[in-house]
Every structure is written in C-alpha cells, then in structure tokens.
Amino acid sequence: MKKIFYLLSMVMLFAVACDKDNTNNEEQIKAPTALEYASVTIADHNAIVIKPEDIAPNAPVVVVATKDLELKTRAAEQLDVNFKAAEHCLIGNYILCIVEVGNDADASFLAEVKNSFSSATKAYLLSYRNEYAYTAAMQIPDTFNAYGCVSATMNATTYAANNFTKPVSFVHVHATENSLYKWYGVEPNYVAVPLCVGALVAINECTHYTTGELLPRDGMGLVSYTKYLGGKDGHEVVLYSVDGANEGWCDAEFEVYNQIWNFFKNH
C-alpha cells in the first residue's frame, strides 16, 4: 500500500514539476532582442535609426541631434559595443534616431524628423553637444513631449533674437569643467548654464525647487541635481551638474541615460 502511495506521489510530483516547467517556458522573456540599425535621410539630414528589432510600431522615439560625426559613424558601423546611448533603447524600449545637425539657427526641420515617426505615441528631443534642444524649445515648443540637452548651452545670438513662448519640460546635463560650453557662459557665444535653465524655469512658471546628490562612483565627481517644480501644466526643469567632468555624456559619472529617459517618460 505504502509503495502505491509512494508511486502515486512521485507521479503527482512529476506532473507538477512538468506543469511548472511549462509555465516557466511561457513566462520566460523572449531571447535578447538585437538592435536594428538603418541609415536614412530625413528632412535632408543624415540620420541613423536604431531600434530593438521587435519593438512595437507605436513605441516612443528619442531624437538625438548631434554634430558629432564620430558618434554617428560609430553607430552606423555598429562597431562600438560600448555605445551605451544606443544600447539604452533596449532597456527603455524606444526608438532612437540620431540626426546630424549643422550650425543653422533654425531648428524647425526637427519637426519633420519627429513627423517621420508618425506612429510614435510620444517623441522627445535630446541635443548632444549642441544647442538645438534649446533652439527647438523656443521655435517648436509643441513638437516634442520633452526636451533635453547634454553638454551644451544656448547660442547667445539665437537667445538674443528669440524668446521662449510656451512652457516645455526640459532636462539639462552639464559638467562644471566643460571647457567649450563653460558653466558661466562664453562671451559672446554661449549662455551660462544657470541662465539657460533660469529662462526655462521662468517660462514654465516654476515656483520652487528641490536639490539632491547621486551616490558618487569611485573616483568620479559628484553629481548633483536641481529639480524646478510647480510649473504650469506640470512642466518642470531638471539640471544635473557633474563636478569636474568635461564634455561628453558624463556616463562614467552616473546613469545618465536612465536619468534622462526617466525624465522623458514622465512627460
């Protein structure tokens, strides 16, 4: 009798185990998704579109405006596995469009770039080492859900000739030792970082701010942030300042892509 019970129990346990295995198979995340790269021309500008190969058609798009040809080439040739900005679209599950920009003070073509992703439910603009996010925030404030700028400030001539007219949510990442776009501005070319941010805080009608620091990585400078809150229609401005670093993404100092993406997806 005991033997029968034992055998029955074993059979049941086996059945449960098999069932569990099946369930696991169903729940298992699909095989790691690869990135698709495509070189395209949008609004007469060279661009690279990078996306997870099985991404939903209505996934959000992050347009990165860059003058950095090296970066673009690296993306195009799919050579650099350490190109973290591209890899992050796997984590965030968004489409990344790196578009080459020049020195034109007109950012309106970025609306065409955005419109080329007509299925995207949300679109964000990030300018890397150039002022296009600020120019676009002035000229096409309704086009993107949020704007961001890494390692650049406003062009002084553009600022003198244009006004911010509508609130925009904006994130700015800047190293205090940036030698080209200096923190306190460069006469007569570039506006000081606190004054760029202050102009957005003013147009957003933010009322107050909070400050904080991120846990420093070994040997890296302190990363602190100021979040300007209470703005019209929930618009806010966030400034990350990275002590001691120079130009670049500041991705050695902190999870810059995560921080920017977290800001974007909240708007």
Partner 1 sequence: MKKFIFILSALFVCYAASAGSLKTETIEDQGVTRSYYVYLPTDLPADAPLVFILHGYGGSANAYVNNSSLTFKQLAEEYKVALCYPQATTDPRPNTGWNVYYPWQIDKMKIDDCEFICNLAKHLHTKYNLSAKNTFLTGMSNGGEMCYLMAYRKASEFGAIASMAGLTLTEMAKRHDYTTPVAFMEVHGTGDMTSRWEGDPTNQYGWGAYLAVPVAVGAVAAANKCMYQETTVLPKIKNQVIFHRYYGSPYGKEVHFYEVRNGGHNWATDSFDSCRVIMEFFKSNMR
> Least distance from C-beta 76 to partner 1, angstroms?
36
Amino acid identity, position 72: K
Residue 184's φ and ψ, nearest 5 degrees, are: -95, 15
Nearer Cβ to partner 1 (171/201): 201
Minimum gap (Å) between residue 111 Cβ and partner 1: 25
Using CB under 8 A as the binding rule, whether residue 141 contacts partner 1 is answered as no
Segment (H or E) for 24 = helix 2-27
Q: Which of these ranges, 65-73, 107-115, 131-139, 205-213, lies near partner 1 under the rule CB under 8 A?
A: 205-213
The phi-psi region of residue 252 (left if phi > 0; otherwise alpha if psi is between -120 and 50; otherwise beta) is: alpha
Beta bridge partners of 183: none
Q: Is 156 in the site for partner 1 (CB under 8 A)?
A: yes
Minimum distance of partner 1 from residue 232's CB (angstroms): 11
Q: What number of other Cβ atoms are within 10 A of residue 8's Cβ? A: 10
Contact status: 223 vs partner 1 (CB under 8 A): no
Is there a contact between 36 and 51 (Cβ–Cβ < 8 Å)? yes
Q: Does 159 bind partner 1 (CB under 8 A)?
A: yes
Residue 191 DSSP label: -
Residues 185 to 204 in contact with partner 1, rule: CB under 8 A: 185-188, 191-192, 194-195, 198-199, 201-203
Number of residues that bind partner 1 (CB under 8 A): 25
CA distance 225 to 236: 13
The residues binding partner 1 (CB under 8 A) are 156, 159-160, 184-188, 191-192, 194-195, 198-199, 201-203, 205-209, 228-230
